[in-house]
Structure formats: structure tokens, C-alpha cells
A and B are shown apart, each in its own frame.
Chain A
């Protein structure tokens, strides 16, 4: 005990504070999944993972390309002659072919309405690294960024942990479909000023995580003019840009800047291949800034998170194959659209509505009608029931800092079609059961509520492995990770 206490004093404040974010109840769902993962054959009663925004729907296309292009790998007979040069290449500018291919890809994803400059492409350790790097370049410890909520739970760590920067949420409401209004931005900004909080910028995610919606031109223009007026930065995380599967189309902030009077030095884009291509393991993050000083600084900082040259080489080849890229983007949209439709229609049939969305790997589900009361506490109770009784790991809106209780993010791309059916059946059953039971007397429902609560308690303490450090990292738990005791859930289309 004494040793531990002494031990903790030996570490930094950053090391001993909670800003890594992993103690959030958000991860209890993962823990529940990990200790009881669904498998169609081996564990059909297990928890289905719907909290992980992964995109494995088009791996067949990628695998085919890899088979047909052995020279894209430096380990094959065809590519071996490149091995040495690639293996020693550690220049933080990154392989020219890689930057060109990524710039071209980003352009295509934006509908070819913008040309991205390969010399502004800066690498980072995934979008995780890119967002952190942007903050390191733009803000000092104690400064703050405005972030429209609901927002990606990982921002708490990525924007704040090592940088010492704060997040000031700009709460968006369902009454106008969670749009980011100029008024809300102004209000949040003024309030921060009055509290002596130094706002250095705004971070948006477009398409939005967790909403799955795209920002329209008007909102984007409004954001650009807001930051120009206030002389603060705008970071646009466009990690889901190519997951748009129906109209309206994706509009990058880069496009909107083109015909606007604005200060280009304030605009920065974060990108990644983790969602659009489904390559989270390859750690390809990009910082793209219109500000030369930021580009130079971020490039120096990329030393702390360069993309493996082996991976740069592979992707340079893959992403410059125009035919492959075109086909991939089309197919990916199609498959995502289909998946999205199956789910949202299925939910509609039992009276569950979702925010109208056309992008992302998830949808934003409205469970407010099922709440006992419109409070976060009730949302959390409902969530525990969904995890422990319905056995679906979905993510509660509170973990995204949503100001309205009752919303849940549900990921739909990281499973196969059979599992989709099972998940839908479970939701249907749960909702219909709930409706039925509402018609019974109050004391019966009280008894049930007590049973549910007991069940929650039982499950919470049933497995000491829930808190075992040797489990997968909460953010990174993937049903596809090679842990021998976890049956894998393969997504096959």
C-alpha cells in the first residue's frame, strides 16, 4: 500500500490524472462485451458489439487488389528490391508518392471540387495523433477549444490529456437536428470569455460522430466566418468523409473556403484512413493545414508518430490506382447504405426513430420515449439494461456529452449480416416487451425494475476479468483482434 502511494508520487501529474478518459462508464459496455462476446455458433447469447465504429465491409475488394499487386509489398519477390530503400526512409516529409496518393484520394472523396497539395500533407499516428498534434500547435496549456456536442468520446483524451488544453462544449439540440448554429457558438464563446477562458479555436467533426450527418454549406460558411471574426482556429476532422452513402454529398471545409473571404491561416483539416478505408491498424493520420507555420510545426512533430514506411509504400500504390479507388468508394457507399437502411427500417417498424443520417458507421438512435424520466440517470439505467439484458453494446449519449438524455449511438458496419438480424431481433423484442409491460399494473413493473437492477449488479461483479488490465484497450477492442479466448465476429458481406 505504502509502496503504491509512494509509487504514484513518483509519476507526473499527466500520468496520474484521469484525463486519459478510460474510467468513463463508456467503457463498461466494452468490458461487458469482452467478458461475454457474441458468436453466432459458440456464444449466441453473448453481447453484440455495437459500440465500435469500424468499417470492414469492403475488405474483399482490398484483398483482391493486394493479391493482384504483389509489388506493392516490400516483402514479396516482386517488391523486395525496394525493401532497403523503404526500410531506411524515415524522412518526416513522408514518401512523395504517398503524399501525392493521399492528396489525390482526399480530393476524390471531396468530389474533386478541391485539389489538395501533397506538400501540405503531414503524417501523424492516426487521427488520434493528428488531433493532438493540431492542438499542440495551436494552443497552450489552459487554453480551450469549442467543440459542438454530441462529440466523439475520445476527444477528452486526444485534445486534452497531454496538451493541458480544455474542451468547452457547444450544446446542440434535437429540436433542429443538432445543427451547429452561429448563435450557439457565439453564446458559448461569450460565456467562456466572461469566465476568463481563452478560446483558441473550434473543432468540428464532419461528417459528424456520433450523428452520422454531414454539415451543409451554410453551416460550414458560418463556422469559417465565425473563426475569422474571432481570430481563432478551425480544425475540421473529416475522418468519415468517404463514408457518406447518400445525398447530401460531403462538403469539405476546403471547398467552402474557396469562394469565401476568410483567413486561410486559421483553417486546418484532420484526416485518416481508419474509417474510410477500414485500416485503423495502419495508423495513417493526416494533418492538413492551410497555415505554413502550422504545417512546418506539425511536420516536425510528426517525428513522434510517423507512418511506417512499409505502410506508406503499400498505400501509395493502392491509392494511386484510380480504377480501384473509384470502384472502392462506390461499393463502400452502396454497402453502407444498405446496412444503414436495414437497421433504420427495422427500428422504424417497432417505433424507434433515428436522426436522419447519410454518413458514418453508426446511427443516432432516439430512445427518449423509453426513459423513465428525461435525466442522465435514467439514460444510464436504460443503457445498463440494454447491455446486460438485451446484450447489445451501444453507446449512451452522455458519453458523447449530449445535453439531451435518451440518445444512443449504434454502430452497424462492424458485423456480418446474420449478426445484424440477431441485433435487430433483440431490439424489436425488447421494445415490444417494454410496450406490453407498460400496459400492466405499476407494482408489476416495479418488481421488474428491481429484477433488472439486481441483474445489473450481478453482472457488474460477475467477472473479475472486467477490470483485468490484460484485456484489450477499451477504444481499440475489435472483434477481429486475435485473442484466442474471444470468438471472433467476422463481418462478411
Chain B
């Protein structure tokens, strides 16, 4: 006879805990699971899934390693561990002054000196993930809305909305003008929010854009800032890929726009930065908020208590980023290598008959596979995506997971692998396209 064991009734968790707003059910992550279960390896698993869904920068690690080899002072064991105690005890949410100074300098260098950053306006957080969430807590109340241009980084669904209770209202961009943000699109998004009774508190742009892999033009930045001023809302510029622009002259930071305007209207502008992409150090959890608004700086600093950067890591990076020679060389070399990778993948895709959006930054390209869709719908896109994942064995990210309004676009990462692996990936794509030509000819 079966014995019934009564399971104690589970106590309800919070609404935040039960909700799906963490976003992990998106196909964006399903691809990662496929990769985890069958990861490509140059030697041991040549038929595995190649990870092209992860925007990581592994092209310049040798530069970092060389720096560390030559500079023992950053390691704790150098001279009988001096400073370890002070470092381990340092939990001040202002952050190490030397580190903030180094970050400010680094950010200035990336912008070719066209903008200046005050170290006392730098607030440290454990990654840009935390920075974006923290800013949202500060700039908006639960139920309010932020306007975000599409396509956008899938993580925003979690970072901006999950625990904050804030909503995202998309600013629709499309391929007719290379997905640029237009004043009409801004206004349409604002109206859309109003019609849903949502109070718009700000706009969040990513510049250079993820997933487009392109920088936002100066004129567009001015339009966006004008719009924010007109509506009396905030402007957050996530510039996490600013050091990954292939050519230094092509990136214009919102900081430059403000400088040109003599910092008028600056109190509504906030910049997010991180070392996860430009330096390829996502594990170290280094994010920053740079705000021109004193209240935001003060509040963000207090809030950063929940997400401080390990003092051990602050110390290491303070040393590294204060070395002007190192950073100059790194920024320059990194740009060159990313550019080279980009050219390689674009050429390879072109040979296979695939067009991409013209890009000039980032760790990925925005690939147009709309001609291959069975039907020009999200469903059609996901069907194609499934084939690419399971047959071609490439984990790329479908545009729908980035909320792109046009089906058929895919984000393809190219910096998180060796050149050899990238060649293999391009071969697979080539073969896939050849097979499809044959199929369509036979139909």
C-alpha cells in the first residue's frame, strides 16, 4: 500500500522571485545550454557547438599577461605582502581613490582626450549589470518606464526591470536607415508609453550599440539629448563598448556632446562603463556609474554598498590602469585586433552570400539572414535559428531575443575564440549556405 507523504505546503516567495522577469527563458539562453552540453573544442570535440553568442573579448589577453609579468608590485606576495591588510579592510563605498583616478584616465584615453572625467563622480559597482540596475532604482519608481532603442542587449530585460519593477518601452529602429534612432521613433515610443499610462523617466542608449556593433552618430546623440531635455527626463548612456571601437575617431561619447554644450542640461545625463568588454575582464566585476548629477552620485554611492568591487581587484587595476604606456598601447592594439577580426568575419560571410550591417565597434556583427526565412516572422526566425544551432552547430543570438522588430537578423560574436575557431565557424556557414542553394535549386 502506498504511503502518502504530505509535502509541507510551500510558502509563497516574493512576486519578484516568482516572476519570469529574470529573462532566462529566452532563446538567447537556450543556445548557451546547447553549447554547454556539447562545446566545440579544436582538438577534442571538433563537431561541437561553437559559441558565438557570448560577447567576450579574448583577443588581447597576452597584453595583460605581459603587463603582470613585468610588474610584480601589483601582486600581494611581492615584498612580504605589504598593504594586504589595508587592502583587505578597505570597504569604503567611495572606492580606492587611485582606482577611480585610473578609471577616469582610462575613460579619457578611450575618448582621445575629447572628454574629461572627474574621479569624484565615479561610483563603483560590481559590473555594468549592477550599474544599470542601480541607476534604474534611482531614476525611476516601480511602474514607471524607460525608453530603450531596439534591438537591445537581452540582459536589459532583467537588469532594468526585474527587481526594480520598472518597465521598458521600446524605441523601434529598423534597417531602412541602418537602425538609427530617429526623433520620430523617440516621440512614438513616448506616446506609446503615455497611452499605456506609464510615466517615462528616462532613455537608455548603448553606445556603441549592442547588438548592432555600430556607434551612434553625433547628430543623433544631440537629437536624443534634446528630446530628453524637452521631456524633462534622464539619459543613460551605456558606453561599455567604447574602447572596442575599431577606429578611435568614430566614437562620440555623450560626454563630448555635453562638453560642446558647456555642460548645460548635464544633470540629467549618466554614463555607465565597465572593464568587462574593453579589457576582457568580466570575472572581476568592474562597473562604474559616472553622473553629472550630484544627488545621483551621492545616492548611487550609498547604494553601491550592495555591490562593491573587491578591494583586491581595485588595487590590481589601479596599478595597471595608471600605467599610461600600458593603457595607450593596449587601447591601440585591442582596436587593431578587433578590426582585423571584424574584417575576417565580414569577408567570410560575404563569400557565403551573407550581408551584415555596416559596423565599426563591439565584439560582434549584426547579420542579415532575412532572405533565408520561410516566413518573415518571429516564428520563421526561430525556426532558422534552431537549424543553425542544432545542424550547423553555431550558437548565435536571434534578433527577436534582442527585441528587434524586423525578423531575420542575428548577432554573431567573433572575439571570444581563436582565429582558427572562427575559420571553422565560417566554413560551416559557407557549407550551410551552399547546401541551401542546392536545395532551393532542386525545389
Contact = CB atoms under 8 A, between A and B. Distances in A.
B92 A476 contact: yes
A348 interface: no
Contacts of B77: 66-67, 69-70, 73, 76
B95 to A, nearest CB: 10
Interface in A1-35: 3, 7-8, 10-16, 20, 22
A380 interface: no
A283 B309 contact: yes
A143 B88 CA distance: 36
B306 A305 contact: yes
Interface in A249-274: 263, 265-266, 274
A89 interface: yes
Interface string B309-336: 1111100100000000000000000000
B120 interface: yes
A12 B88 contact: no
B90 A293 contact: no
Given A76-B75, A281-B91, A304-B130, A481 B302 contact: no
A107 interface: no
Nearest to B15: A140
A54 B130 contact: no
A306 B88 contact: no
- Place the interface of chain B in its size category: 35 or more
Contacts of B133: 304
Given A11-B139, A87-B64, A231-B9, A75 B75 contact: yes
A218 interface: no
Given A7-B267, A12-B141, A274-B91, A473 B158 contact: no
A291 B192 CA distance: 41
Contacts of B232: 10
- Most chain-B CB neighbours within 10 Å: which of A83, A293, A303? A303
A480 B89 contact: yes
A293 B285 CA distance: 25
B13 A137 contact: yes
B373 interface: no
A87 B67 CA distance: 14
A162 B137 contact: yes
B88 A279 contact: yes
B340 to A, nearest CB: 20
Contact of B14 (A56, A138, A280): A138
- Most chain-A CB neighbours within 10 Å: which of B78, B120, B284? B284
A279 B138 CA distance: 29
B423 to A, nearest CB: 21
Contacts of A126: 91, 305-306, 308
Interface stretch (B171-179, B291-299, B430-438): B291-299
Interface in A111-145: 125-126, 128-129, 132, 136-141, 143
B126 to A, nearest CB: 5
A309 interface: yes
Contacts of A279: 88-89
Contacts of A481: 86, 89-90, 92
Interface stretch (B104-112, B274-282, B344-352): B274-282
B310 A56 contact: no
B181 interface: no
B84 to A, nearest CB: 5
Interface of B: 8-11, 13-17, 22, 24, 56, 58, 61, 64-65, 68-69, 72, 74-78, 80-81, 84-94, 96-97, 120, 126-127, 129-130, 133, 137-142, 144, 158, 163, 201, 232, 234, 267-268, 276, 280-285, 293, 295-296, 298-299, 301-303, 305-313, 316
In the A-B complex, the 3 residue pairs with the closest CB atoms: A281-B311, A309-B283, A308-B310
21 contacts: A10-B268, A15-B138, A66-B76, A69-B77, A75-B316, A76-B72, A80-B65, A80-B69, A83-B68, A90-B276, A136-B14, A137-B16, A138-B17, A231-B9, A293-B10, A301-B22, A301-B163, A470-B120, A476-B305, A481-B86, A481-B92
Interface of A: 3, 7-8, 10-16, 20, 22, 54, 56, 59, 62-63, 66-67, 69-70, 73, 75-77, 80, 83-84, 86-90, 125-126, 128-129, 132, 136-141, 143, 157-158, 161-162, 231-233, 263, 265-266, 274, 278-283, 293-294, 297, 300-301, 303-311, 314, 469-470, 472-473, 475-478, 480-482, 488
